[in-house]
Chains A and B, each alone.
Chain A
């Protein structure tokens, strides 16, 4: 099992450009999450999908959109990138139920100039 995979690993954008970060998991998990990690801020939840067909906002959703394409895949889109979105983005997944652990992908390091 590959676990949680993310593409790309690195990306540089200019202000105003758009891009989609891809995430896939092969553990048949119901729930998937997108976080961003910034120095001194910890990981903050952007959006999550509790199950296929549903998405909800997290703590910092502004400037982002998501799509739960199917049970395996959950993408994060930046429509018009801003320098404040320079960060490391992590995707995670978890089996349903309140008592299961969350598994993380390797991250995408995004720089917006």
Chain B
């Protein structure tokens, strides 16, 4: 059974800092890994999807990497802004039904 872990559960950084969020998974037989952002009381917004054959994917200030062999993915946020404050979730897709298994998220606060 796939298990996804995100550490730390919460992170506070000053504006402008570069930061890395971590995601680990136990079953390396994944199709892809998806990073989401969730604002309080809102739904999930897809940020990046990285396929199992890819090493990294970039969108603006965001860069996601994937290392299947070690069961790890990271989300790098450059030059953080207060608007980046949210909970970030990673989810691994495995299995014939392509179901997503979610981590419990990292709650990020970017302070002025």
Which A residues touch B89, using CB under 8 A? 42-43
- Cβ contact within 8 Å between A106 and B43: yes
A-B contact count (CB 8 A): 55
Among A11-19, A61-69, A95-103, which stretch is in contact with chain B?
A95-103
Q: B43–A101 contact, CB under 8 A?
A: no
> Residue B103 at the A interface, CB < 8 A?
yes
Please report the C-alpha to C-alpha distance between residue A23 and residue B31 in the assembled complex, in whole angstroms.
Answer: 26
Is B55 located at the chain interface by the 8 A CB criterion? no
Is B42 on the interface with A (CB-CB < 8 A)? yes
Question: Looking at the complex, which one of B31, B97, B99 makes contact with A99 (CB distance below 8 Å)?
Answer: B31
Q: Would B104 and A41 count as touching, CB distance under 8 A?
A: yes
Asked if A24 is at the interface (CB within 8 A of a chain B CB), the reply is no
Q: Does A90 lie within 8 Å of B44, measured CB to CB?
A: yes
